[in-house]
Structure 1
Amino acid sequence: MKKGRNSLFLIIMAFMLMLAACSGEKSSGPETPEIGEKELENLNTTGMPIVKNQVTLKFMAGKSALSADNYNETLLWKTYEEMTNIHIDWELVPFDGRDEKRNLTLSTSTLPDVFYTMAMPNEDLLKYGQQGIFIKMNDLIEEYMPNLTALLEQYPEVKKGITFPDGNIYSIPTIYDPEFKSVLLTKAWIRKDWLEKLGKEMPKTIGDFYEYLKAVKETDLNGNGKNDEIPYGATAISGLTGVLKGAFGVGNKGAKHAYLDEDPDTRDIRFYPISEGYKEMLVFINKLYSEGLIQENIYTIDANQSYSMGAEGLYGSTVISSPETIYGKVGENFTGMGPLEGPAGNDYYASTSPLAHMGGFIVTNANKNIPATLRWMDYFYSEDGAKLFFLGIENETFEVDENGDFQYLDKIKNSPEGLTMEQELSKYITWLGGGYPGIVREATFKGAESLPATVEAAEKLEPNLLDEIWPSFTYTVEENKKLSSLQADIHKYVDEMQDKFITGTEPFSKWDAYVEQVKKMGLEEYMSIQNEALKRYKNN
């Protein structure tokens, strides 16, 4: 009898395991790390300092060319160390060397406590997260990061975006305040003084824009007796395609997806570079290029050369963050364009997700002070923390003006040493160059996107913005393996053909052959993966 009962028990257990395997439940992934008693005893759960006895954390941090060479000598980090009782041992890595340094470090057993502004790719976040090298954040965020927790509750699309297919969070995000429209939008600019000279109104349609560009080419608007005006000039063609997508009805889920959007008829996910709307857009841009209305060397021009030409007053229109800050005095003649109406209407698609970046703050399993580390980072999601991070210290680097707005002191804007504003700022703060975790709000962020002209440009576009923006998708390890080769081939081919169609080196009579070639490159499998990723995002 005993043997029979054992057999029955084994059958029941096997049946239950089979049910569990078929249930489709997500794997819980790595366990949340246990926090030691010594860590908790040394931690202040609220207020400052964060720890009773000083601790040192090792950060590997990406450094832009605009930032100081020694972070511990900057006002920001000296002040924050005094506030928190946490010393940071900064290992600074130039931005252009981050990929190599990350990969080398992850192949060794010697890890930093935190990867900071190291632009960790999503596939690596999942790969090393599932291996337990990057810690699982879900419960830890809720327990030790009240400011971030409140933001994730306020903006659920951000929480959905940072959650991986296994249900886990492995990094701390950069969030753009959804109310700060200027930082979310790519803006097109036009010479308002040239519009006046030509007797033209602000372009409202793609036809109006074409007529303005044509008039610029045919008129000596800068009065130097030469035919050197460039109707549209920029550092790349991508800015122009970005601001025109709405007029042609492609890219309708925002700038994070350069190839995917939602089919307006079926509401299914779509690979839009083979759509008729995309073709119509390329036909229009090809017309501009073939008539000399777009800078001839736009595919090869160096950024500094383009900036110099803008500063010389040669551009009639452009897509750039701020002509005022990049072109100097000449930039004051530019004003933001509104959305252009085309065959698909005038909704504006050149906007990005509030989830700006995911790979800017990752805690590794080498970290022995996890609660203190997370409290250290959480402060920068508060209003006071954002103020410190972006502005520094009141009356040392910034002041409050008569309107209650924060402004950098004159010594920052007009350096007594003759330095640029960025060079002077680098003595005090480290946000220049981007990639930082935290939240970007209009009140505390004083980059180009906060200038009156850029805010005004964003306001012109706001009534025509998309209701839903997709952040970058996350994929399973298996999906990443398949996508890596599929994307490498498909995206490269699409990009190359876009350039050829625009410049006329490939005629539009080859369009159908181009579409068929994209499909032959594994588009069906590619789209199947993207469809699953979209479903997961929506169900997170």
Structure 2
Amino acid sequence: MKFKKLTSLALATVMTAGLTAACGGKDEPGESAAPNAGKDAGVNVTGFPIVKEPIKLTFFAGKATSAPANWNELPVWKEYAKQSNIEVDFQLTPAESLTEKRNLVLTGGDYPDAFHTARFSSLDVANYGAQGIFIPLNDLIDKYAPNFKKLLDQYPEVKRGLTMPDGNIYSFPTFYDPAFKSVLIGTKLWYNQAFLDALNIKAPTTTDELYQYLKAVKTQDPNKNGKPDEIPYAASGYGSLLDELKGAWGLGNRGNMHPRVDVDPQTNKLRFIPADPRYKELLEYMNKLYKEGLFIDNVLTIKGPEVNTKLAEGVVGASETNSPHAIGGVTIKNFVGAPALKGPHGDQVFSRARSPLIDVGAFVITNKNKHPEATVRWIDHFYGEEGSKLFFMGVKGLSYNEKPDGTLEYTEEYNKDSSKFVSWAGGFYPAMLTSKTFKGGEASAPSMAAAKLVEPYWPKEVWPAFTYTQDELNRFSPLSTDINKYVDEMTTKFIVGDVPFTEWDKYVSTLNKMGLADYLKLYTAAYERYSGGK
């Protein structure tokens, strides 16, 4: 997966991608709106082929820059067509223009049987579902999607996160195996072990020790070249580090899908993190690192590839990135994962935890589809181990081999050019990702070891994105936009010192005047709807 680029303190504003609307559709929950739903007699409920007579489906699909240009010629999809008796015509649209073209297709009415890797937000899913364009999947999942139904039963928070306010499920998501903590984390905090050894310092486990280590990197020449060329901390933006450190102040106790809202342990009510006094303490800590020159000079503007170059040069003491040892084309050594840090009040929560429900709208079926049962069976395969193996590894003997102990490894041909075999590069795919079937950087030994360090401090509950009714959304969206823009601006100003901390009370007062109480009231309604499904 790509190095996560954070060019500012945009800390994932509160989910326009996770907001949803329910306009009160014409279908009852679980009732399929597809023209021939329940009438596709040629569908085998289990096993292969999926259909007795061959059928052809057309899918609109979003293509990331890193993904192959023509999915129809890939071995993975040719093999699955043989197995399933279903031929799919993938009509690709570049991710850069995906939203515009996707909306034009839907508005024009000439849309396909399904949308695959189309990056629909929960809002999109609920809106088009309410209009009857996306069909409800509840009953179809019960009968034709045993793999996916098993996941929903096993992880009820995923089911609640997929269920729109009208009671319907309209989409199949990107699902990360909850046991695969490395991929759920994404970017991680890494230390330069060579610097730790040279300085005779143990890996920092507290925020104070992190400060002392970064200070030593800056002042004690750990690369022993007689030059002050060491960079204590390098990353593209402050955002990931800020999210990483929240847990050391007891913030972010419901994970990072809601980076600005969690539960106040004192009141058991929702808390707006950027208005909490402990957030002020966190910003003061970040400001100290900034003032003392412990961040790379152009931290707000530097891009990911430039950071990778600095990591490869061996001059960086710590970084927030994905898997530094597995970044393509750059050799980066000596980096080891950091534990969840303990803060000044004794808090130690891994606040960067994410829900396994990653992308809600990865796959939807439209009311133009004459074979909804077969389509559900087709997509369900990728939420089981064999389908996940096919999706991520490709065809056995061609792009991967299986060792006697059951582990999988890519072939030499695959490693030379993966784009000839599979289509998943770029993410947002409708499939289940596991450590056995996914061999990206997150599955490497260093990344898995890094995840093990923070796993004991994983929040007891990690929220997925919530859903909103249309009425709630009409009020919430402008509040969310204005409040989060203001928080972004002020967070940066506090950290770099453009605004002194004597202005903190004024900042909180401004948030209140902007409608923070109403914002939290609407947020609470969405949370109670989510938690009420437990």
Residues 240, 319 of structure 1: 8 Å contact kept: yes
Which one scores higher on RCO, CA 8 angstroms, separation ≥ 6?
Answer: 2
Residue equivalent to 1:14:
none
Q: How many angstroms apart in 2 are the aligned matches of 1:27 and 1:526?
A: 30
Unaligned runs of 5+ residues in structure 1 are 1-25, 416-423
Q: How many angstroms apart in 1 are the aligned matches of 2:505 and 2:389?
A: 54
Cα deviation, 1:83-127, whole Å, max 9, x if unaligned, reads 112111211111121111122222111111111111111111111
Q: Superposed, which structure 2 residues align to 1:479-490 within 5 Å? A: 479-490=472-483
Residue equivalent to 1:290:
291
Q: 2:386 aligns with which of 377, 384, 401?
A: 384
Tell me which amino acid in the other structure corresponds to 1:229.
Answer: E
Shift in CA distance, 485/38, structure 1 to aligned 2, threshold 3 Å: closer
Residue equivalent to 1:104:
104
Which of structures 1 and 2 has the bigger CA Rg? 1
Residues 239, 319 of structure 1: 8 Å contact kept: yes
Tell me which amino acid in the other structure corresponds to 1:268.
Answer: K
Shift of 1:31: 4.0
Shift in CA distance, 146/286, structure 1 to aligned 2, threshold 3 Å: same
Q: 2:493 aligns with which of 492, 496, 500?
A: 500
Residue equivalent to 1:401:
403
Residue equivalent to 2:170:
170
Residues 310, 327 of structure 1: 8 Å contact kept: no
Residues 30, 132 of structure 1: 8 Å contact kept: no
Shift of 1:154: 0.9
Shift of 1:181: 1.2
SS in 2 for 1:471: coil
Q: How many angstroms apart in 1 are the aligned matches of 2:291 and 2:135?
A: 53
Residue equivalent to 1:336:
337
2:73 paired with 1:80: no
2:456 paired with 1:463: yes
Q: How many angstroms apart in 2 are the aligned matches of 1:36 and 1:278?
A: 54
SS in 2 for 1:316: strand
Residue equivalent to 1:426:
419
Greater shift in the superposed pair: 235-244 or 319-328 = 319-328
Between structures 1 and 2, the one with greater helix share: 1
Q: Superposed, which structure 2 residues align to 1:4-153 within 5 Å? A: 28=28, 31-33=31-33, 36=36, 40-153=40-153
Shift of 1:366: 1.1
Tell me which amino acid in the other structure corresponds to 1:353.
Answer: S
Residue equivalent to 1:305:
306
Residues 123, 480 of structure 1: 8 Å contact kept: no
Q: Superposed, which structure 2 residues align to 1:355-374 within 5 Å? A: 355-374=357-376
Residue equivalent to 2:532:
539
Tell me which amino acid in the other structure corresponds to 1:513.
Answer: K
How does the TM-score come out when normalised to structure 1? 0.91
Residues 161, 472 of structure 1: 8 Å contact kept: yes
Q: How many angstroms apart in 1 are the aligned matches of 2:425 and 2:108?
A: 30
Q: How many angstroms apart in 2 are the aligned matches of 1:140 and 1:288?
A: 54
Unaligned runs of 5+ residues in structure 2 are 1-25
Tell me which amino acid in the other structure corresponds to 2:502.
Answer: S
Q: Superposed, which structure 2 residues align to 1:305-324 within 5 Å? A: 305-324=306-325
Shift in CA distance, 329/198, structure 1 to aligned 2, threshold 3 Å: farther
Residues 172, 360 of structure 2: 8 Å contact kept: yes
Shift in CA distance, 160/99, structure 1 to aligned 2, threshold 3 Å: same
Shift in CA distance, 402/46, structure 1 to aligned 2, threshold 3 Å: closer
Residues 30, 129 of structure 1: 8 Å contact kept: no
Residue equivalent to 2:157:
157
Shift of 1:305: 1.6
Shift of 1:224: 4.0
Tell me which amino acid in the other structure corresponds to 2:189.
Answer: A
Q: How many angstroms apart in 2 are the aligned matches of 1:103 and 1:59?
A: 15
SS in 2 for 1:89: strand
Q: 1:476 aligns with which of 469, 474, 494?
A: 469
Shift of 1:226: 2.7
Shift of 1:35: 5.8
Q: How many angstroms apart in 2 are the aligned matches of 1:237 and 1:251?
A: 16
SS in 1 for 2:515: helix
Identity %: 44
Residue equivalent to 1:375:
377
SS in 2 for 1:332: coil
Tell me which amino acid in the other structure corresponds to 2:357.
Answer: L
Q: 1:510 aligns with which of 500, 503, 508?
A: 503
Q: How many angstroms apart in 2 are the aligned matches of 1:394 and 1:85?
A: 19
Shift of 1:233: 0.4
SS in 2 for 1:99: helix
Shift in CA distance, 38/237, structure 1 to aligned 2, threshold 3 Å: closer
Shift in CA distance, 167/124, structure 1 to aligned 2, threshold 3 Å: same
Shift of 1:178: 1.1
Shift in CA distance, 304/320, structure 1 to aligned 2, threshold 3 Å: same
Shift of 1:507: 0.8
Tell me which amino acid in the other structure corresponds to 1:492.
Answer: K
Residues 308, 327 of structure 1: 8 Å contact kept: no
Residues 75, 428 of structure 1: 8 Å contact kept: yes
How does the TM-score come out when normalised to structure 2? 0.92
Residue equivalent to 2:205:
204
Greater shift in the superposed pair: 356-365 or 38-47 = 38-47
Residues 137, 171 of structure 1: 8 Å contact kept: yes
SS in 2 for 1:105: helix
Shift of 1:27: 8.8
Q: How many angstroms apart in 2 are the aligned matches of 1:279 and 1:367?
A: 53
Residues 182, 455 of structure 1: 8 Å contact kept: yes
Cα deviation, 1:442-497, whole Å, max 9, x if unaligned, reads 11111111000000001111111111001100111111221221111011110111
Tell me which amino acid in the other structure corresponds to 1:390.
Answer: F
Cα deviation, 1:389-427, whole Å, max 9, x if unaligned, reads 1111222111223543111123333x2xxxxxxxx1111
Residue equivalent to 2:246:
245
Shift in CA distance, 237/38, structure 1 to aligned 2, threshold 3 Å: closer
Shift in CA distance, 109/280, structure 1 to aligned 2, threshold 3 Å: same
Q: How many angstroms apart in 1 are the aligned matches of 2:147 and 2:160?
A: 17
SS in 2 for 1:140: helix
Q: How many angstroms apart in 2 are the aligned matches of 1:502 and 1:325?
A: 31
Q: How many angstroms apart in 2 are the aligned matches of 1:258 and 1:270?
A: 11
SS in 1 for 2:231: coil
2:346 paired with 1:353: no
Residue equivalent to 1:437:
430
Shift of 1:165: 1.2
SS in 2 for 1:359: strand
Residues 29, 130 of structure 1: 8 Å contact kept: no
Shift of 1:523: 1.1
Tell me which amino acid in the other structure corresponds to 1:263.
Answer: D
Residue equivalent to 2:179:
179
Shift in CA distance, 364/499, structure 1 to aligned 2, threshold 3 Å: same
Tell me which amino acid in the other structure corresponds to 1:365.
Answer: N
Residues 197, 221 of structure 1: 8 Å contact kept: yes
Tell me which amino acid in the other structure corresponds to 2:508.
Answer: V
SS in 2 for 1:295: coil
SS in 2 for 1:119: strand
Q: 1:412 aligns with which of 407, 411, 414?
A: 414
SS in 1 for 2:395: coil
SS in 1 for 2:118: coil
Shift in CA distance, 410/327, structure 1 to aligned 2, threshold 3 Å: closer
SS in 2 for 1:116: strand
Shift in CA distance, 193/403, structure 1 to aligned 2, threshold 3 Å: farther
